[in-house]
């Protein structure tokens, strides 16, 4: 038996949803650069789930379905109010709320293809509302009802703030959502697939995936990046901070990747957004510190930034609370998780690898009095 730490290089399934070949990322064969520059997030969700871009009628219908399903049950909000709210991380709240949503969905355990597609829409539509409702509840405010005539990206900002967002913010959020939507067999997507391969339900798969995304080696890195930038605080402090981190063999959040070796193709879009948005807010130091960090970490460690690095200064510039960065990642990535869950169901086999046993052998049981 041979083992590969962290399953590096192991090809665990076939998939026709997204691919990373020679550091180029595509969704259903469309280059991420093309989609980031041109597509709405609604189109991308449709693409991931249906293997084709929607025509105008299909897109209008799909957008309307998302909009009518965006409201969350009042019980979810009541439950949030009962959380020990000042101690609860929004990712933990999201994980709990998504699991709870299943209790209010009569089709939760209906495994038919049609019911699964309806649940997919409900989950995709409700998850942003859960995130923004939690954010408002913890500030002592009432959740805001999503508007049926706003886009997915605009509704995220509207339900967060209660104000109709400016176009520049909507464009930035839409692009970030497109860039985070899917990423081949990343840790949270693999988690979702393992879960539903037991023929468990979609809510279980998405709840499990949220748990995997939360960790700092995966989606949790974007919040850590902002904490690091805040700690560094000025361009002059970047070099000494990094030299100290290198000496202590610390991981620099937002750098490195298991699959990309020459660079993450998503990072350049976020870098450019960071430049534009910090220019608009006047807080250019976040962009300047970030580019300085990129220069030093790339030169000295050969590690390029990943998707999480520049998304931190982008979200900060949009006024989003730092602990909502990873939930915002989930708002997008749920589209990919669901695409993979549907793909798994369509050609399922239990995922059950082996472990190479390296523990003690030939032990003899000794009764507790004699130990």
Interface with ligand ACO (CB under 6 A): 6, 217-219, 221, 251-258, 301, 303, 306-308
**Closer by beta carbon to ligand ACO, 255 or else 325:** 255
* Contacts of range 48-51, beta carbons closer than 8 Å, 24 or more positions apart: 48/17, 48/18, 48/181, 48/182, 48/335, 48/336, 48/338, 48/339, 49/117, 49/120, 49/335, 49/338, 49/339, 49/342, 51/16
Q: How far apart are CA 6 and CA 258, in angstroms?
A: 10
Could you give the C-alpha distances from 34 to 25, 38, 90, 215, 265, in angstroms and in order?
Answer: 11, 6, 32, 30, 11
Strands across the sheet containing 30-31: 18-21, 24-27, 30-31
CB of 170 to ligand ACO, least distance (A): 23
326, 328, 333, 338 alpha-carbon torsion, rounded to 10°? 110
Q: How far apart are CA 152 and CA 335, in angstroms?
A: 12
Residues taking part in catalysis: 257, 308
Q: How far apart are CA 321 and CA 77, in angstroms?
A: 19
CB of 339 to ligand ACO, least distance (A): 17
Among residues 65, 44, 94, which one has the least CA distance to residue 214?
94
**Closer by beta carbon to ligand ACO, 30 or else 246:** 246
Q: What DSSP state is assigned to residue 323?
A: G
**Closer by beta carbon to ligand ACO, 155 or else 326:** 326
**Closer by beta carbon to ligand ACO, 66 or else 252:** 252
Both tokens of 12, joined, read 């665990």
CB of 302 to ligand ACO, least distance (A): 9
**Closer by beta carbon to ligand ACO, 95 or else 266:** 266
- Given a contact cutoff of 8 angstroms between Cβ atoms, the answer to whether 223 and 323 are in contact is yes
CB of 47 to ligand ACO, least distance (A): 20
**Closer by beta carbon to ligand ACO, 255 or else 287:** 255
Among residues 200, 248, 228, which one has the least CA distance to residue 308?
228
CB of 18 to ligand ACO, least distance (A): 13
**Residues 23-36 as b or e (16 or more Cβ within 10 Å = b):** eebbbbebebbebb
With CB atoms as reference, the residue minimizing the distance to ligand ACO is 256
CB of 10 to ligand ACO, least distance (A): 13
**Closer by beta carbon to ligand ACO, 154 or else 303:** 303
CB of 8 to ligand ACO, least distance (A): 6
């Amino acid at each position: 038996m041979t083992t590969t730490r962290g399953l590096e290089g192991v090809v665990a399934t076939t998939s026709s949803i997204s691919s990373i070949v020679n550091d180029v990322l595509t969704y259903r064969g469309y280059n991420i650069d093309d989609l980031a520059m041109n597509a709405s997030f609604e189109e991308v969700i449709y693409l991931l789930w249906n293997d084709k871009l929607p025509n105008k009628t299909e897109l209008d219908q799909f957008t309307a379905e998302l909009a009518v399903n965006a409201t969350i049950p009042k019980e979810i909000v009541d439950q949030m109010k009962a959380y020990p709210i000042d101690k609860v991380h929004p990712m933990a709240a999201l994980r709990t709320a998504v699991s709870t949503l299943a209790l209010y969905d009569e089709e939760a355990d209906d495994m038919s293809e049609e019911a699964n597609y309806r649940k997919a829409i409900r989950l995709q539509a409700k998850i942003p509302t859960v995130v923004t409702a939690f954010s408002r509840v913890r500030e002592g405010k009432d959740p805001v009802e999503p508007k049926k005539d706003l886009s997915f990206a605009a509704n995220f900002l509207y339900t967060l703030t209660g104000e109709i967002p400016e176009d520049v913010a909507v464009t930035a959020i839409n692009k970030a959502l497109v860039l985070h939507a899917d990423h081949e067999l990343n840790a949270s997507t693999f988690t979702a697939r393992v879960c539903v391969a037991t023929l468990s339900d979609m809510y279980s798969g998405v709840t499990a995936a949220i748990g995997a995304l939360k960790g700092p080696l995966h989606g949790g890195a974007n919040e850590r990046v902002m904490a690091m930038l805040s700690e560094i605080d000025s361009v002059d402090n970047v070099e000494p901070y990094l030299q100290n981190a290198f000496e202590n063999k610390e991981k620099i959040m937002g750098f490195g990747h298991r699959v990309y070796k020459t660079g993450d193709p998503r990072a350049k879009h976020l870098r450019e957004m960071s430049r534009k948005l910090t220019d608009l807010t006047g807080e250019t130091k976040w962009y300047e510190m970030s580019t300085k960090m990129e220069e030093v970490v790339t030169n000295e460690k050969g590690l390029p930034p990943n998707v999480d690095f520049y998304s931190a200064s982008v979200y900060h510039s949009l006024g989003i609370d730092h602990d909502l960065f990873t939930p915002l990642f989930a708002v997008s990535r749920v589209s990919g998780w669901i695409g993979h869950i549907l793909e798994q169901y369509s050609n399922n086999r239990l995922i059950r690898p082996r472990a190479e046993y390296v523990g003690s052998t030939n032990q003899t049981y000794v009764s507790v009095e004699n130990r």
